[in-house]
Structure 1
Amino acid sequence: MTAPRSSTQADVIAHWSEGKLFHGTGGVTAAVTNPASGAVTGEVLLATRDDARAVIASAAAAFPAWRDTSLARRTTILFRFRELLDQRKEELARIITAEHGKVFSDALGEISRGQEVVEFACGIAHLLKGEATQNASTDVDVQSIRQPLGPVAVISPFNFPAMVPMWFFPIAIAAGNSVVLKPSEKDPSAALWIAELWSEAGLPAGVFNVLQGDKVAVDELLSNPAIKAVSFVGSTPVARYVYATGTANGKRVQALGGAKNHAVVLPDADLDVAADAMVNAGFGSAGERCMAISVLVAVGAIADDLVERIARRARELKVGDGTRDADMGPLITRAHRDRVASYIDAGIEAGATVVLDGRTVQPDGEADGFWLGPTVIDRVRPEMSVYTDEIFGPVLSVVRVDSYDEALDLINNGPFGNGTAIFTNDGGAARRFQNEVEVGMVGINVPIPVPTAYYSFGGWKASLFGDIHAHGAEGVRFFTRGKVVTSRWLDPGRGGIDLGFPQNN
């Protein structure tokens, strides 16, 4: 299996096609760094158009046989993949920590949440069942069936190199599709590790492929006629582009975009519970989560007390190398770290109050790491860039409002609708909030309301382009299409003797 690289070893990270590594024809690469040290640890190949077409062709060639493989056989391989993943997830977690920078425990948590979808897909047989009506007309039977689409693409972001792909490919594969995964070029090795695990589980060559690259690879996946559907997670501008381009080329597309998630804390809430939740949801994985809470909406006179509790807890967080005893790791790249830090300057210039400044953090890690500590900015107003922009880092903005209605309007008037939360001990207020808020995923005293795998993940407004959410029953519908068969048959009768117990093959 692929192992984490040392800081002095710069490997070439290749594609995966036809069940093996594929280096393609292009020699252009991009550096992969360890965010905790700044050292280059690998060079990932950036696919040419011909490379992309070769990988897609591998998926297309494998699809017919996989489509016709029995559901019993497909789920057997899926179960085996699940068991291997469970046994070796620490290997994968180390790769994620080395390339993304998140702490080891967070990497393990990411894998566990992805594994939930693998386990859900192991039971896909129930969701692929159709319906049947006997004698809909005289001697005429009607049945509905669901069939796979063909080769499909998954374009995943850097922040969850294992979990986000696992939102999609287990269901796609279980349903009978072949898959091309295009991971982020910032942390590409997890995808190859997963490809090797699929091979060991017995998945036929070509059913799961990895295409490394940048926009050239993405554009080929969006335009190539062999690809029938695309699942994407990333920023809203790119999600909009992926949706428009993919659908213009006749593809089914689900493009999950950005977020600016608010947490409303009402005056009756338990402030210690709320403060813990804000720290966990705001600074976990260095804030590089699409479901991170980036805006705290403090209602009424509780704001001073709540902000003080949050800042006190955040100061105690240990920032450092994810392989050490740290609570929070670095950001993914130096450029991203500097971009996030620039919003602290912008908040100060706009008149906000920096209660805790992460730029002064003293990390437990190498001096050249991409460090930015937890940051709390109070008295933020809706016109400030620190409020309007998706920062995607460990920056918690505090907006003070006087009422529940003002808090609700703040959320509903925003362009995003990914996730939100409310903290209260008032059941009536919570029930009203879940009904009135224009957001796809809602937490009540739960700061990161990511649904379990048998429910579906997705937001509203500019947080989702397309009509179908990820995983759960909606994920099964996305990776299949319905067909209705109407039939009339004579009854010739059948003979023959077989005393063996009927088997599912």
Structure 2
Amino acid sequence: MHVDLVTHWRAGEAWSGTGSRRGDVFDPATGRVVRQVAYAEQADVEAVVADAVTAGERWAAESLTRRTGVMFAFREALARRADEVAAVITAEHGKVLDDARGEVQRGLEVAEFACGAPHLLKGSFSDGVSGGVDVYSLRQPLGVVAVISPFNFPAMVPLWFVPIAIASGNAVVLKPSEKDPSASLLLAECWAEAGLPPGVFNVVHGDKVAVDALLTHDDVAAVSFVGSTPVARHVYETGTAHGKRVQALGGAKNHMVVLPDADLDSAADAAVSAGFGSAGERCMAISVVVAVDPVGDDLVEAIAQRMAGLTTGDGRQGCDMGPLVTGEHRDRVTGYLDAGVAEGAQLVVDGRQVVPKGAPEGFWLGPTLFDGVRPGMSVYDDEIFGPVLSVVRAASYDEALRIVNASPYGNGTAIFTADGGAARRYQREVQVGMIGVNVPIPVPMAYYSFGGWKASLFGDTHAHGTDGVHFFTRAKVVTSRWPDPASRTGVDLGFPRHD
């Protein structure tokens, strides 16, 4: 059966590359191969980067007004095609259509933030710091930067980085996930519609060959990455060893602490929504609920009741939760259910028993709930990245805090409580980068920055917001004197002072 080929994007147009390797792209709701994607070889990456170097030099020399105009036009192009982008996300990733639309909307918010480039890139100026001396700062682009993005957000994660990088005057090479690559080409078309010069935004598809080619290329100045912790560590160590600036956002094991005074219905709603949205394939998913005595039994019952009303099926058919992205990933997640039972956790709701609304060949696994989970069990320790929610019991706030802080991850967390003092204490004491108070998925708005602590981040800079602007630019400070010819001071070998 013939299937379409997802190509690279080079110098403003589709490009098949020089290699012959291909990868299959599945429709997760049917299990069928619907496309193939071209895999880049080392020579392909080198050709694309060479184009980007030339285009990037011209783009950096463009006026800020011109660059900002392109940003506004890109925002409009993406808004016009938002439903088209969402549809291809659902077709290749499997998340339900409303979830895909939400992903595009959150990406749009970063594009809108980047439209403020004239303000974001402003330097500072100090007049007359010394006799006839002024000091001012400015920010300049890095050159060519790479963005390596994961399968779970094929539009939103690239949009966390690319608009800010381009608005700052850089050229970008995007390496999207080979599992759901088509959204990247729709973004490329939006950039072309916006009038971005060819070669400023490029896409190379593929596997580790393409990733390592970008990480080691002398003309790639910086790398932004989102993915699992082991790969994030590899990206960070390889990129920095080759002299690159790297921000590598890794894995997560996000905890939601529920105190006894919390609104039980709100907490249960939040746990189900944040645990099973996008089939749990989110780095900000709640995968552990820490129930503080005596709320545990009632909370588990309330969560299970809500899970009973969820429908799993084709994301285009109005279901609550779609399939997992591939059969291999579904089987990996299912293995954790077997391990959890073997390790002594109580399987309250078994997602393997789901009857999906979709083709039986789809990559199905229903929402799953464990109770009685403890640190040391694989369902607790590992980032499962699937629709598996674990409940851990804690005797007190202090024990709950110790459980959260003992995790090697520090991406996101939430606390549900009616006590403002407890919430304020938690946000100060918890060792996590993003915190929600009665908010289950604390993803910051675009004008704040996204990123975690500990093994959830390698590097010092978070995504988007002012951190993103600083990551994609470097600062200069200029000390300037235009002396009055009538007040020459002559030769002075002393150390310069600001008198």
Range of TM-score over shorter length: over 0.9
Look up the match of 1:220: 213
User: Does residue 366 of the first structure (1) align with residue 367 of the second (2)?
Assistant: no
Look up the match of 1:120: 113
Q: Pick from 98, 104, 115 the counterpart of residue 111 of structure 1.
A: 104
| d(CA) in 2 for partners of 1:134, 1:313 | 63
| d(CA) in 1 for partners of 2:80, 2:202 | 22
Give the superposition deviation at 1:88: 1.4
Residues 339-358 of structure 1 correspond to what in structure 2 (within 5 A)? 339-358=332-351
Give the superposition deviation at 1:490: 5.5
- Number of positions where the alignment pairs a residue of Structure 1 with one of Structure 2: 485
Look up the match of 2:490: none
> Deviation per CA, 1:409-450, whole angstroms, max 9, x where unpaired?
001111000000000000110000000000000000000000
Query: Residue 263 of structure 1: SS of its match in structure 2?
Result: strand
Residues 53-452 of structure 1 correspond to what in structure 2 (within 5 A)? 53-452=46-445
| d(CA) in 1 for partners of 2:218, 2:417 | 50
Q: Is the 8 A contact 1:254 1:468 kept in 2?
A: yes
Q: Is the 8 A contact 1:168 1:470 kept in 2?
A: yes
Could you tell me which amino acid in structure 1 is paired with residue 108 of structure 2? Q
| d(CA) in 1 for partners of 2:56, 2:164 | 15
Look up the match of 1:48: 41
Could you tell me which amino acid in structure 2 is paired with residue 175 of structure 1? S
Give the superposition deviation at 1:489: 2.5
Q: Is the 8 A contact 1:315 1:374 kept in 2?
A: no
Give the superposition deviation at 1:184: 0.2
Give the superposition deviation at 1:12: 1.0
| d(CA) in 2 for partners of 1:121, 1:12 | 32
Could you tell me which amino acid in structure 1 is paired with residue 170 of structure 2? N
Q: Is the 8 A contact 1:278 1:296 kept in 2?
A: yes
| d(CA) in 2 for partners of 1:174, 1:106 | 27
Query: Residue 295 of structure 2: SS of its match in structure 1?
Result: helix
Look up the match of 2:25: 32
Give the superposition deviation at 1:137: 2.2
> Deviation per CA, 1:372-410, whole angstroms, max 9, x where unpaired?
000000001111000000000000000011000100000
Could you tell me which amino acid in structure 1 is paired with residue 302 of structure 2? R
* Runs of 4+, deviation exceeding 6 Å: none
> Deviation per CA, 1:255-299, whole angstroms, max 9, x where unpaired?
000000000000000000000000000000000000000000000
Query: Residue 301 of structure 1: SS of its match in structure 2?
Result: coil
Query: Residue 81 of structure 2: SS of its match in structure 1?
Result: helix
Look up the match of 1:498: none
- Unaligned regions of 5+ residues in structure 2, if any? 486-499
Look up the match of 1:4: none
CA RMSD of aligned residues (A): 1.0
| d(CA) in 2 for partners of 1:409, 1:171 | 37
> Deviation per CA, 1:88-112, whole angstroms, max 9, x where unpaired?
1000001000000000000000000
User: Does residue 458 of the first structure (1) align with residue 451 of the second (2)?
Assistant: yes
Q: Is the 8 A contact 1:295 1:396 kept in 2?
A: yes
Give the superposition deviation at 1:136: 2.0
Q: Is the 8 A contact 1:143 1:486 kept in 2?
A: yes
| d(CA) in 2 for partners of 1:57, 1:35 | 36
| d(CA) in 2 for partners of 1:149, 1:35 | 39
Give the superposition deviation at 1:135: 2.1
Q: Is the 8 A contact 1:188 1:212 kept in 2?
A: yes
Could you tell me which amino acid in structure 1 is paired with residue 47 of structure 2? A
Query: Residue 391 of structure 2: SS of its match in structure 1?
Result: strand
Look up the match of 1:471: 464
| d(CA) in 1 for partners of 2:113, 2:264 | 36
Could you tell me which amino acid in structure 2 is paired with residue 33 of structure 1? F
Give the superposition deviation at 1:488: 2.1
| d(CA) in 2 for partners of 1:428, 1:158 | 39
Q: Is the 8 A contact 1:357 1:373 kept in 2?
A: yes
Give the superposition deviation at 1:61: 1.1
Give the superposition deviation at 1:9: 5.4
| d(CA) in 2 for partners of 1:432, 1:416 | 20
Q: Is the 8 A contact 1:19 1:204 kept in 2?
A: yes
Q: Is the 8 A contact 1:418 1:440 kept in 2?
A: yes
| d(CA) in 2 for partners of 1:196, 1:127 | 26
| d(CA) in 2 for partners of 1:307, 1:274 | 11
TM-score normalised according to structure 1 size: 0.95
| d(CA) in 2 for partners of 1:175, 1:188 | 25
Look up the match of 1:3: none
Could you tell me which amino acid in structure 2 is paired with residue 269 of structure 1? A
Are the structure 2 counterparts of residues 11 and 146 from structure 1 closer, same or farther at C-alpha, using a change threshold of 3 Å?
same
- Unaligned regions of 5+ residues in structure 1, if any? 1-7, 493-505
Could you tell me which amino acid in structure 2 is paired with residue 436 of structure 1? E
| d(CA) in 1 for partners of 2:221, 2:309 | 49
Look up the match of 1:496: none
Look up the match of 2:489: none
| d(CA) in 2 for partners of 1:191, 1:87 | 16
Paired-residue identity, % = 67
Could you tell me which amino acid in structure 2 is paired with residue 438 of structure 1? Q
Q: Is the 8 A contact 1:259 1:463 kept in 2?
A: yes
| d(CA) in 2 for partners of 1:308, 1:386 | 20
Q: Pick from 460, 480, 484 the counterpart of residue 487 of structure 1.
A: 480
Look up the match of 1:501: none
